[in-house]
Chain A
């Protein structure tokens, strides 16, 4: 099964379960959870089901295309089911079967792995789902987001697409995966990994990044003042990405890191507050 088949099969599977297929969000994020498709929509009471593919960027994970299973950009397939259904675990197991996995001939396990993002004021209780020791999914019942207790609780299922593809292809090198029958992951991504590793670790201009960080901060402050929480949130995502780049450049001392994390967290908190206010006021 090619990578694109996995994406199509899972997307279709969840579409059949009533999810709307959202287009990929077009701002850099570290995880599918950070997309507005999740962060905002798990708040409030309105039922919601979505499936979408989200590229996730983690600059420090870059390995110049040399490591067979670590990349600075990978793909997640994110599902949100709100409210969390009673048979969520069963639906998930069936989604793996839809990929042609015979679970009786493999070892599937749910290992405790609670998730929290202080930056998003969010936490959830859940598991990392392992197939023969390979983590292929995060399965989480969202408990809080934007510092607010969620009611109803949403179920979040995040598939690691490359991991699933490696599992299905019985390969241990990500670059050997077939994206389609005639395009490999190597063709599509190797050059990108090499170039971005160069950028993340060597070329990203530290002074510029620090300046950009300040500029975005000031933009966000202004937007928050105007209650324009959607663009404010986009820029908070930018801020987070710049922070990750600074981290990759090892440009921040521990105290400087802490300060910046706190700054992002405060903005996000403020943004969530405005969103909730608007939600309440209808």
Chain B
């Protein structure tokens, strides 16, 4: 068996493009090999900032034979009574260039037929690769494509060489005006060889290594991690971890070298968050810390040889100084701004077309946060309104204009610097938390409320102007807004009725009266979907439980969530399971019949009298638990009913001939069912 190697050598590939490109290559190569019936052991995907590499191990030299069956006339027509072939059979085999000996028989629903099996010989894998590789390459999609030559090919960055080798033989094809060969290039700076000839796929990685390219990503990452560890030990400090940056840098170097440098101690006066943002986003550097406090030392990853160490450290120390000089300039200048004046200036800052200015948004946030706070945490009302008032002013600072990722954080830091209470500054600081469904929510209730109202206001605005998402399109990121609304309410323990919250939020915008109801209903529908998503994707709650809970109502997100938790317990508890089965019998009988004209005088069977008595006895208790929002206890109280329901169905005929008795019995079951459905529609649960 042979190995196949493909390398696309490209001008520097952005890390995100490299990742998506390699993923697509793996998928598309496997697809193409399967579709072309080419056997292989495995498809290896490797890459650096300058190359996408695919290695197919043990690829079959030819594609698998394909057997096709051509059906002829039925056996009855093909052979006469003596079993000799008829003209029909002879004609059929002749037309296919075969003889009677090649015939086989095929059992079909319409009887037995004669058939001929034709075996199509496999084509050479090399020939097929020539065909499908250019197609795969032109089908790759990147976050941004470009053109660079007259072939008008679209690709992430200009392709400068292609290696295509089956063992030691070049499999030639053309892409983007380049003919595949067995030549590539080493490290652009550290290798002195202009064209590296690859003898075979086996030879590839070691040839690259000789030319200072470490193809294996794991190996690069290990060099980086070892280098970081060495520096940590040397200075007895710890790196401030940043997984995202580490992953990115691993894809930005072919020959990693870890270095470390320092900056002036004085710069530590600038808030840590700002230092970290500037060094990370501007210079892709890691900070170091001693315990919890940031130290004036950084770590960087270069694509260079150790002999460059002195120059690199010296150079980076200079640029870090300049960068922190800028940070300090922004910080000090922005601090000079007057906060009340900034609130005024929000009047000129548009929140969105048709949605008014940030000033108007600020006023809405104040109102809405006071409204919610009065429900869930009245003692926080003042703090939350104050936080809302200053929540958006940092949009106007130079710092946030330069680094939008500092929004919120910056506002919080400024308020802190100006002596605002922790309650208020921290709420502003954390207002954009959680950034996604995985992130944690703000720590304080004030922070949670601010974060919730900000999103609620954005969502309402989006629905008013009709920006809602549809299908798999979500151009305004509203799903994330919805997911995080659900998350804050549930994890923040915010006990408020959704219709109340939405109608208040709507009231704060100018909306025509007759449209309000429709928008409110649309927002609730949208949030139901987000609730399902949060519960199923993030909390592992099964769809049947969600159906059971959502079949009754979706008014209070927190309570609906608590119900799902109670139901999840029930679903996997033997006693509850039996109760659910009994309840399904109730539901099956009453179906959609809502009749409710119970006359207890008419109950005659002892079993039905007994069930009613027990029901009356537990009803109050169950209702009390529900009122206390304790759905576990409510469920436990319902369990008592189980044997009586079963006994009832064993001896009572609900569908009595006498219409009035029948209706009375259904009415009784409806009463029982209603009590269950104060929690959920248990009949939806799949046992």
A interface residues (Cβ-Cβ under 8 A, vs B): 63, 67-70, 83-84, 86, 89, 93, 103-112, 114, 125, 127, 131-134, 141, 143, 151-153, 166-167, 170, 172, 253-256, 258
- Knowing A141-B146, A170-B314 are in contact, say whether A108-B189 is a contact too (CB < 8 A): yes
Complex-state Cα separation, A151 to B147, whole angstroms: 9
Contact status of A125 and B311, CB under 8 A, knowing A143-B147, A153-B147: no
- Binary interface profile of B, 314-341, with partner A (CB < 8 Å = 1, else 0)? 1110111110011001000000000000
**Inter-chain contact B315/A83, CB cutoff 8 Å:** no
CB-contact partner of B315 in A86, A127, A131, A254, under 8 A? A131
Known: A104-B190, A134-B318. A84 touches B149 (CB 8 A): yes
A254 touches B348 (CB 8 A): yes
Minimum-distance CB pairs A-B, first 7: A132-B315, A253-B348, A112-B14, A125-B146, A110-B12, A107-B302, A107-B304
User: Quick one: given A103-B189, A132-B311, A153-B147, are A111 and B318 in contact (CB under 8 Å)?
Assistant: no
B415 to chain A, nearest CB (A): 22
Taking A86-B149, A141-B147 as known contacts, 13 extra A-B pairs with beta carbons closer than 8 A to each other, sorted by chain A number, are A67-B325, A68-B322, A70-B326, A104-B304, A104-B307, A109-B302, A109-B303, A110-B11, A125-B146, A133-B300, A172-B322, A253-B349, A258-B350
B148 A105 Cβ-Cβ under 8 A: no
What are 10 pairs between A and B in contact, CB < 8 Å? A69-B322, A69-B325, A86-B158, A105-B307, A106-B311, A112-B14, A131-B315, A152-B149, A166-B318, A253-B349
Q: Assess whether A89 is in contact with B149, with CB atoms less than 8 Å apart.
A: no
CA distance A63 to B305 in the complex (A): 37
- Alpha-carbon distance between A167 and B319 when the two chains are bound, in angstroms: 10
A107 in contact with B307 (CB, 8 Å): no
Once the chains bind, are A83 and B189 in contact (CB under 8 Å)? no
B283 at the interface (CB under 8 A from A): yes
Q: Whole-angstrom distance between the alpha carbons of A63 and B332 in the complex? A: 14
Chain A residues with CB under 8 Å of B316's CB are: 132-133
Does B108 touch A at the CB level, under 8 Å?
no
A83 near B150 with CB under 8 A, answer yes
Select one of A112, A125, A255 contacting B350, CB under 8 A. Answer: A255
**Which of A107, A125, A152 has the most chain B CB atoms closer than 10 A to its own CB?**
A107
Residue contact B149 to A107, C-beta cutoff 8 Å? no
A104 to chain B, nearest CB (A): 6
The 8 Å CB contact of B148, one of A84, A104, A170, is A84
The residues of B that contact A255 with a CB separation of less than 8 Å are 348, 350
A132 to B316 alpha-carbon distance, docked (Å): 6
Inter-chain contact B315/A106, CB cutoff 8 Å: yes
| Cα A68 to Cα B283 with chains together (Å) | 18
Please tell me if the beta carbons of A104 and B14 are within 8 angstroms of each other in the complex.
Answer: no
CB distance from A86 to the nearest CB of B (A): 7
Least Cβ–Cβ distance between A204 and chain B, in angstroms? 19
| Contact (A151, B152) CB under 8 Å given A132-B315, A133-B283 | yes
Q: Chain A residues near B147: list those with CB within 8 A.
A: 141, 143, 151, 153
Q: How far is the CB of B410 from chain A (nearest CB, A)?
A: 17
In the assembled complex, the Cα of A172 lies from the Cα of B264 at a distance in Å of 14
CB distance from B291 to the nearest CB of A (A): 28
- Find out whether the CB atom of A111 lies under 8 angstroms from the CB atom of B252: yes
Q: In whole angstroms, how far apart are the Cα atoms of A116 and B334 in the complex?
A: 28
Decide if B160 is an interface residue (CB 8 Å cutoff): yes
Contact B189 A153 (CB under 8 A): no
Partner of B252, one of A109, A114, A172: A109
How many whole Å from B245's CB to the nearest CB in chain A? 13
Interface residues of B in 250-288 (CB under 8 A from A): 252, 257, 283-285
Residue of B whose beta carbon sits closest to that of A149: B147
Which of B15, B144, B152 is within 8 Å of A125, CB to CB? B144
A143 to B325, CA, bound (A): 35
Q: Is the CB of A153 within 8 A of B148?
A: yes
Residues from chain A with a CB closer than 8 A to the CB of B326 are 70
Interface presence of B100 (CB below 8 A): no
Q: Is B157 an interface residue (CB 8 A)?
A: yes
- What residues of chain A lie closer than 8 Å to B345, measured between beta carbons? 253
Which residues of chain A have C-beta atoms less than 8 A from B652's C-beta? none
What residues of A have a CB within 8 angstroms of the CB of B322 in the complex? 68-69, 172
Contact A133 B349 (CB under 8 A): no
- A70 — which chain B residues lie within 8 A by C-beta? 326
A172, B321: Cβ atoms under 8 Å?
yes
Given A105-B307, A152-B150, A67 contacting B188 (CB threshold 8 A): no
B308 contacts partner chain A, Cβ-Cβ < 8 Å: yes
B312 on the interface (CB 8 Å rule)?
yes
Contact mask B285-300 → A, CB, 8 Å, 1/0? Answer: 1000000000000001
Bound CA span A69–B318, Å: 11
* Contact of A89 with B11 in the complex, beta carbons under 8 Å: yes
Name the one of A84, A93, A131, A143 contacting B188, with C-beta atoms under 8 angstroms.
A93
A278 to B252 Cα, complex, angstroms: 45
Given contacts A133-B315, A134-B315, contact A107 B188 (CB under 8 A): no
Report whether B12 and A127 are in contact in the complex, using a CB–CB cutoff of 8 Å: yes
Given contacts A131-B315, A253-B348, contact A106 B308 (CB under 8 A): yes
Q: Do residues A68 and B325 form an inter-chain contact, with CB atoms below 8 A?
A: yes
Tell whether, in the assembled complex, residue A105 and residue B308 are in contact, meaning their CB atoms are under 8 Å apart. Answer: yes
Complex contacts, A86 vs chain B, CB 8 Å: 149, 158, 160
Does A104 lie within 8 Å of B305, measured CB to CB? yes
- Nearest opposing residue in chain A for B15, CB measure: A112
Distance between B411 CB and nearest chain A CB, rounded to angstroms: 17
Interchain nearest-CB distance for B50 vs A (Å): 9
Docked CA distance A134–B314 (Å): 11
Expressed in whole angstroms, the minimum distance between the Cβ of A48 and any Cβ of chain B is 15
- Which of B150, B283, B315, B325 has the largest count of A CB atoms less than 10 A from its CB? B315
Q: Which residue of A lies closest to B320 (CB)?
A: A133
Find out whether the CB atom of A125 lies under 8 angstroms from the CB atom of B157.
yes
B3-43 at interface with A (beta carbon < 8 Å): 11-12, 14-15
Instruction: Report whether A104 and B325 are in contact in the complex, using a CB–CB cutoff of 8 Å.
Output: no
B12, B158, B312: the one within 8 Å of A107 (CB): B312
In the assembled complex, the CB of B535 is this many whole angstroms from the nearest CB of chain A, namely 38
Contacts of A143 in B (CB 8 A): 146-147
Give the chain A neighbours of B152 by CB distance below 8 A. Answer: 151
Q: How far is the CA of A258 from the CA of B352 in the complex (A)?
A: 13
Contacts of A67 in B (CB 8 A): 325, 329
Q: Give min CB distance, A230 to chain B, whole Å.
A: 28
Residues on the A chain within 8 Å of B318, using CB: 134, 166, 170, 172
Nearest-neighbor residue (CB-CB) of B150 within chain A? A152
Chain B residue with Cβ nearest A105? B308
Do A105 and B311 have beta carbons less than 8 Å apart? yes
Q: How far is the CA of A93 from the CA of B257 in the complex (A)?
A: 21
Scan residues 102-153 of chain B and give those whose CB is less than 8 A from a CB of chain A: 144, 146-150, 152
Residues of B within 8 A of A153 (CB): 146-149
Mark each residue of chain B from 151 to 190: 1 if its CB lies under 8 Å from any CB of chain A, else 0.
Answer: 0100001101000000000000000000000000000111
Whether B190 contacts A254 by the Cβ 8 Å rule is no
Q: Which residues of A contact B189 (CB under 8 A)?
A: 93, 103-104, 108
Q: How far is the CA of A256 from the CA of B348 in the complex (A)?
A: 8
The answer for the CA separation of A107 and B315 in the assembled complex, in Å, is 9
* Closest partner residue, chain B, to A143 (CB atom): B146
Q: Contacts A133-B316, A255-B350 known; A104 to B308 CB distance under 8 Å? A: yes
* Residues of chain B from 377 to 430 with CB closer than 8 A to chain A in the complex: none
CB pair B190–A132 under 8 Å, yes or no, is no
The answer for the CA separation of A106 and B189 in the assembled complex, in Å, is 10
CA distance A259 to B189 in the complex (A): 47
Decide yes or no: A254 and B11 within 8 Å by CB, A106-B315, A167-B315 being known contacts. Answer: no
A266 to B210, CA, bound (A): 55
In the complex, which residues of chain B have a beta carbon less than 8 angstroms from the beta carbon of A107?
Answer: 257, 302-304, 308, 311-312, 315
Nearest residue, chain A, Cβ from B326: A70
Whether B348 lies near A134 (C-beta < 8 A) is no
User: Which chain B residues border A108 with CB–CB below 8 Å?
Assistant: 189
Q: How far is the CA of A109 from the CA of B187 in the complex (A)?
A: 12
Chain A residues near B283 (CB-CB < 8 A) = 133
Cβ-defined partner of A106 (8 Å) among B11, B252, B312: B312
- A63 → B minimal CB distance (Å): 8
Complexed CA–CA distance, A201 and B349 (Å): 22
